[in-house]
C-alpha cells in the first residue's frame, strides 16, 4: 500500500503504483485552503489518499485534474470537492460519462480501437467487479491558465497539451519551486504504436523550461525528480527529437549518433525514447 510522503510544509503526495497504473496524487496545503491534484484511478485509490491526508488533519477544498485519462479521474466522485478542469478535459469527461466499464464493453472498445489493452487490463485489475463509475461534471472550467490562491501558496494551472494527451495541464507552485507535470511528458499511448512527435515535443519542452522549478513530479514516476535529473531527461528528449528530424526517423543512425553525442552506450530509457520518436515519425 502506498504511503503519504511530504516534501515540504505545504506539499504532500501519495506515490504512484505501477501494478494497476495508479498515478501520483498530491495535496498543496496553503494557510487557508488546500488543492488536491488528480482524483486517482478508483474510489479506493481516492479514499486511500484522503484517509492518509486526514491523519495529518488535511482536507481538500478544490480538486484539479491534470488530464482526462481514467487513472486520473475515476476517483472523482469519492473526492466530493469542486473540480477544476481544462475545457477539453471537461469535454472528454462528458464523453466518458456515457460509457460502461464492464469487461464486455471494455473488450468491445479495445476491438474497435477506441480503448487500448494497456488501460483495459489495468482497469480490470484496479476495479475488480466494482465497475460502477460515476463521473461528476467538473465545476470550474478554464481555457489557458488559472491561478488558485491557497493563502501563502499559489497554484498556477496552465494548459500545455503535448503528445500524451491534448488536454494536459501542469500545476506550478512558485513559492516552493515545484512543478507537477501530470503525464504530459509521456508518449501518446492511444495509438497503434506508442509515440512522440518532434514538433509537439519541442513545443512542450519550450513551454516547460520557462518554469523556475527545483522539484518535478511526473505522475507515473516512482518519486519526484531533482532539477539535475529533470534536465537530463529533457536533454534526452530534445536530443532524440533533433536526431529524429535530422535522420528522418532512421533508428540505427539515431542510436549511433546519440551514443557519440553522449559519449556512452545507450541504456534502456534512451532506446525507449528513441523508439517512441521513430514511431511518431513514420
Q: What is the distance between the alpha carbons of residues 13 and 36, in angstroms, rounded to a whole number? A: 9
Q: How far is the CB of 21 from Zn ion (least distance, A)?
A: 9
Of 115 and 176, CB closest to Zn ion:
115
108 phi/psi in degrees, rounded to 5: -60, -45
Of 95 and 147, CB closest to Zn ion:
95
**Three cell numbers, residue 61:** 477544498
Of 22 and 69, CB closest to Zn ion:
69
Residue 194 · residue 276 · CB < 8 Å: yes
Q: How far is the CB of 164 from Zn ion (least distance, A)?
A: 6
Of 69 and 221, CB closest to Zn ion:
69
Q: How far is the CB of 56 from Zn ion (least distance, A)?
A: 27
Q: How far is the CB of 246 from Zn ion (least distance, A)?
A: 29
Q: How far is the CB of 69 from Zn ion (least distance, A)?
A: 4
Residue ranges in contact with Zn ion by CB under 5 A: 69, 183
Of 29 and 46, CB closest to Zn ion:
46
**Sequence-ordered strand ranges (E) for 9-160:** 11-14, 25-29, 34-37, 62-64, 83-86, 140-142, 145-149, 154-159
**Pick from 66, 57, 1: which is nearest to 34 by CA?**
57
Helix (H, G, I), strand (E, B) or coil at 94: helix
**Three cell numbers, residue 84:** 477544476
Amino acid at each position: 500500500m502506498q504511503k503519504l510522503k511530504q516534501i515540504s510544509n505545504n506539499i504532500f503526495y501519495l506515490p504512484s503504483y505501477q501494478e494497476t497504473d495508479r498515478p501520483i496524487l498530491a495535496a498543496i496545503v496553503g494557510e487557508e485552503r488546500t488543492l488536491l491534484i488528480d482524483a486517482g484511478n478508483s474510489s479506493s485509490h481516492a479514499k486511500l489518499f484522503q484517509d492518509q491526508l486526514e491523519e495529518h488533519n488535511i482536507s481538500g477544498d478544490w480538486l484539479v485534474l491534470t488530464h482526462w485519462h481514467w487513472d486520473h479521474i475515476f476517483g472523482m466522485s469519492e473526492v466530493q470537492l469542486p473540480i477544476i478542469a481544462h475545457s477539453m478535459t471537461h469535454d472528454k469527461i462528458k464523453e466518458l460519462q456515457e460509457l460502461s466499464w464492464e469487461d464486455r464493453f471494455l473488450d468491445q472498445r479495445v476491438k474497435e480501437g477506441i480503448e487500448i489493452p494497456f488501460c483495459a487490463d489495468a482497469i480490470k485489475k484496479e476495479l475488480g467487479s466494482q465497475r460502477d463509475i460515476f463521473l461528476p461534471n467538473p465545476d470550474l472550467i478554464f481555457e489557458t491558465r488559472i491561478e488558485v490562491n491557497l493563502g501563502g501558496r499559489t497554484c498556477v494551472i496552465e494548459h500545455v497539451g503535448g503528445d500524451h494527451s491534448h488536454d494536459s495541464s501542469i500545476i506550478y507552485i512558485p513559492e516552493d519551486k515545484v512543478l507537477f507535470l501530470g503525464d504530459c511528458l509521456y508518449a501518446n499511448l492511444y495509438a497503434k504504436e506508442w509515440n512522440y512527435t518532434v514538433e509537439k515535443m519541442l513545443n512542450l519542452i519550450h513551454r516547460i523550461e520557462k518554469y523556475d522549478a527545483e522539484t518535478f513530479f511526473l505522475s507515473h514516476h516512482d518519486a519526484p525528480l531533482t532539477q539535475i535529473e529533470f534536465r537530463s531527461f529533457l536533454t534526452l528528449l530534445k536530443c532524440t527529437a533533433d536526431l529524429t528530424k535530422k535522420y528522418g526517423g532512421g533508428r540505427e543512425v539515431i542510436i549511433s549518433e546519440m551514443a557519440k553525442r553522449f559519449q556512452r552506450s545507450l541504456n534502456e530509457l534512451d532506446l525507449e525514447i528513441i523508439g517512441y520518436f521513430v514511431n511518431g515519425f513514420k
